[in-house]
Structure 1
Amino acid sequence: MSFFSKQFIDILQWPDPAPDVLSARYPMEGQEIQTGAKLVVRETQAALFLNEGRLADLFGAGTHTLTTQTLPVLTYLMNWDKGFQSPFKSDVFFFNLREQLDQKWGTTQPITVRDKEFGPLRIRAFGNYAFKISDPKLFWSRFCGSGAQFRVADIDGQLRTAILTDMASFLGSAAVAFVDMAAHQGEFSKALQTALTPTFAEMGLALTVFYVQSLSLPEELERHLDRAGSQRIVGSLNDYTRFQAADALGDAASQPGGGLASEGVGLGAGLAMGQMMAGALNTSLNQPPVGQTPSPDADPMATLEKLGELYQKGILTEAEFTAKKAEILNKIK
């Protein structure tokens, strides 16, 4: 009577797994699988049979009838001498083959790389990726064991460590400047995905998507790059200062007579500062050194200053001043 009191399983299936569950063991709990039972494996699933911890038969999507013909490896491992006519016991694991999307990765500590342009750099990087189980047998042997369930969270730390380790090796040997990495993040992401794919394959996984969303440098180096970029945008500091001074003089000419004196004071200070900076920073323009008084013919700024003084004193009319100013500015632009 003990045989007939046993519970037999007629249908094995994993109907509604949670999205983050990668594998689950079918709950046998003393039950035995009936000969000729149906195994239902849904799309994006796989089922693996084991005998005493030994890998046996793997089934893909579909409905399978369990016989000696459909379970050749398991039949061999259990050494049935009755042609598989009695119920049997076996560990059955189901695997979720769906993509695990939007997984995050990031550098907990900066990665030191040798940049071909700036030398040694400490880089931080962040992004996301997606993966799925590609080899259930290998994945089970590496991670699952006899556990009832295995979730994404159980492997998250392992995957992040693998990503950062391979990324450090890739960046250390890549002859790519940091500015080129940041400017071509799409190509950089694909190159990193190619480098990481073998590591994921060793765990029975496929790296389906990999994105680098952010690359950053230490704050002090970013400030240095910002200053260098600003200097290139401004161009020659001497030319910029002279242009600003000339522009200020034009604004002063457009003011009513009452405000011209104060504008003239500011203009004189600005011109003096511009001449000092010009003498110190841009000798290539053959300007006279600071301390020498340039002649009106040699220095348009001095001429403009003199014209401003004449206009302020009432010697020149506004029309005369405006005409002369326009003539001089046309020569120096």
Structure 2
Amino acid sequence: MIMKFIKSQLIEVIEWTDNTTDTMVYRFPVKGNEIKMGAQLTVRESQVAVFVNEGQIADVFEPGRYQLSTENMPVLTKLKAWKYGFNSPFKAEVYFVNTKQFTNQKWGTSNPIMMRDTEFGMIRLRAFGIFAFRVNDASTFLKEIFGTNRVFDTESIVGQLKRSLVSGITDLIGESKIPALDLAMHYNELGEAATDALQPRFSNLGLQLVSLFIENISLPEEVEKVMDKRTSMGVLGNMQQYTQYQAAEAIRDAAQNEGGGLAGAGVGLGAGAGLGQVMAQAMSQNMQVGNNQSQSQPSKPQADTTTCSKCNSQVPREAKFCSSCGNTMVSPKTSCVSCGHELTEGAKFCSDCGSAQELKCSGCGKDLKPNTKFCPECGTKA
């Protein structure tokens, strides 16, 4: 009976089978019991076993199977001043730290992020997404966070991590100065930048921020309504034409409204007249737009035409008036036969020196062209 009691106080197998999804640290139940020297320690993948002696972290065991001895517990051997080959039972606390990734951890802004936008001015943004983390330094994590609890799960620390994430992401979005309308195309870049920027905060706790994703950054409801209206206006295009179309539809519906007697006939006649006016206005405006476009985009001038100085229309070079606007066309220029002063073609005398521009042959009296040296009729020198 006594031997059975003594045997029950000695722990011979130390292991932890995790059947949860959120447990980060599990303390093996050795309180009041002693660990037998030579006991079997099993550390599974994504686990780390930490031996603690009187509140001081001693040996850390990576995944594997161990038979406890002074050789594989050098720190604990030194702390307890054991001699080599010590075989007596001993007391120590054993903590299993889960090093797997804890995924799908949700984060979000509890209060809107104030931001100055180039298009909308001062706006408030809300953001949310998910992140994943893991323990990458069991000793630091036990010192900074865990303490002496029996079990430690993600709920015990996620709240602090979320607040740290929101603070860093808020600062990052504000410094990026990305326009609110362009934030959606930078989710991946912002998530990667936030992961790098926030990693030192996690490292101080013995953790690693594995990934961070931004699922959505939303604008205030009033800003979204303004954006919807602007989008609708862009889709409708020409608002005046759309208004005319709506009016025509309303008149048509009124004309088709079933009504008896003269009242129905009056509505139909009035609707028809109204529809005619609307269509006439639309055609007139379309013709005006067409004329404006033709004036603003003149066709390339032809070799036998010239450009009107008033409306830019192309008219025949010999025309005296523009056929589009009636503007007087400027006559082609020529030069004075005596002084070279620029004159309007057809001028008989020079406005600068007074010389006659029409020459007559002194022999036969035939009219000669300017700069003619000999008369083509009689050969007399001009």
**TM-score, shorter chain, exceeding 0.5:** yes
SS at match of 1:159: helix
SS at match of 2:105: strand
Structure-1 separation of matches of 2:282 and 2:76: 90
Following superposition, the deviation at residue 185 of structure 1 comes to 2.8
Structure-2 separation of matches of 1:209 and 1:33: 40
Q: CA RMSD in A?
A: 3.5
CA deviations on 1:279-324 (whole Å, 9 max, x unpaired) are xxx9xx79xxxxxxxxxxxxxxxxxxxxxxxxxxxxxxxxxxxxxx
| Equivalent residue, structure 2, for 1:57 | 59
User: Are positions 1:75 and 2:77 aligned together?
Assistant: yes
Following superposition, the deviation at residue 267 of structure 1 comes to 2.5
| Equivalent residue, structure 1, for 2:199 | 197
Residues 10 and 34 in structure 1, CA contact (< 8 A), matched pair in contact too: yes
What TM-score do the two structures reach when normalised by structure 2?
A: 0.63
Following superposition, the deviation at residue 22 of structure 1 comes to 0.6
Following superposition, the deviation at residue 164 of structure 1 comes to 0.9
User: Are positions 1:164 and 2:166 aligned together?
Assistant: yes
Aligned letter for 1:92?
Answer: V
| Equivalent residue, structure 2, for 1:126 | 128
Structure-2 separation of matches of 1:50 and 1:145: 11
Aligned letter for 1:170?
Answer: L
Residues 238 and 274 in structure 1, CA contact (< 8 A), matched pair in contact too: no
Structure-1 separation of matches of 2:246 and 2:129: 45
Question: Given the alignment, which residue of 21, 24, 34 partners 2:23?
Answer: 21
Residues 241 and 282 in structure 2, CA contact (< 8 A), matched pair in contact too: no
Aligned letter for 1:98?
Answer: K
Deviates more, 1:48-57 or 1:242-251: 242-251
Question: Given the alignment, which residue of 214, 217, 224 partners 1:215?
Answer: 217
Question: Given the alignment, which residue of 112, 115, 125 partners 2:114?
Answer: 112
Following superposition, the deviation at residue 191 of structure 1 comes to 3.0
**1:169–1:207: structure 2 CA closer, same or farther, 3 Å change rule?**
same
Q: Structure 2: which 5+ residue stretches go unaligned?
A: 257-264, 294-382
Higher radius of gyration, 1 or 2: 2
Following superposition, the deviation at residue 242 of structure 1 comes to 5.1
| Equivalent residue, structure 2, for 1:179 | 181
**1:179–1:164: structure 2 CA closer, same or farther, 3 Å change rule?**
same
| Equivalent residue, structure 2, for 1:327 | none
| Equivalent residue, structure 2, for 1:231 | 233
| Equivalent residue, structure 2, for 1:263 | 271
Residues 252 and 271 in structure 2, CA contact (< 8 A), matched pair in contact too: no
Structure-2 separation of matches of 1:13 and 1:160: 32
Structure-1 separation of matches of 2:219 and 2:50: 47
**1:16–1:246: structure 2 CA closer, same or farther, 3 Å change rule?**
closer
Alignment of 1:241-260 (within 5 A): 241=243
Following superposition, the deviation at residue 190 of structure 1 comes to 2.8
Aligned letter for 2:170?
Answer: A
CA deviations on 1:48-68 (whole Å, 9 max, x unpaired) are 111111122111111012222
Question: Given the alignment, which residue of 100, 103, 107 partners 2:102?
Answer: 100
Residues 168 and 197 in structure 2, CA contact (< 8 A), matched pair in contact too: yes
Following superposition, the deviation at residue 110 of structure 1 comes to 0.8
Aligned letter for 2:142?
Answer: W
| Equivalent residue, structure 2, for 1:139 | 141
Structure-1 separation of matches of 2:18 and 2:88: 30
SS at match of 2:18: coil
Residues 244 and 278 in structure 2, CA contact (< 8 A), matched pair in contact too: no
CA deviations on 1:236-278 (whole Å, 9 max, x unpaired) are 3234445666889999999xxx786243244367579989xx9
User: Are positions 1:5 and 2:34 aligned together?
Assistant: no
- Give the count of matched residue pairs: 277
**1:194–1:235: structure 2 CA closer, same or farther, 3 Å change rule?**
farther
CA deviations on 1:139-187 (whole Å, 9 max, x unpaired) are 1112111110001111121111111111111112112122221234333
**1:76–1:213: structure 2 CA closer, same or farther, 3 Å change rule?**
same
Q: Structure 1: which 5+ residue stretches go unaligned?
A: 287-333
Residues 31 and 93 in structure 2, CA contact (< 8 A), matched pair in contact too: no
Residues 22 and 95 in structure 1, CA contact (< 8 A), matched pair in contact too: yes
Residues 11 and 33 in structure 2, CA contact (< 8 A), matched pair in contact too: yes
SS at match of 2:149: coil
Residues 245 and 271 in structure 1, CA contact (< 8 A), matched pair in contact too: no
Following superposition, the deviation at residue 93 of structure 1 comes to 0.5
Residues 241 and 274 in structure 1, CA contact (< 8 A), matched pair in contact too: no
Residues 107 and 130 in structure 2, CA contact (< 8 A), matched pair in contact too: yes
**1:109–1:41: structure 2 CA closer, same or farther, 3 Å change rule?**
same
| Equivalent residue, structure 2, for 1:30 | 32
SS at match of 1:46: strand
Structure number with the higher helix fraction is 1
CA deviations on 1:48-96 (whole Å, 9 max, x unpaired) are 1111111221111110122222111222222224643322211110011
What TM-score do the two structures reach when normalised by structure 1?
A: 0.72
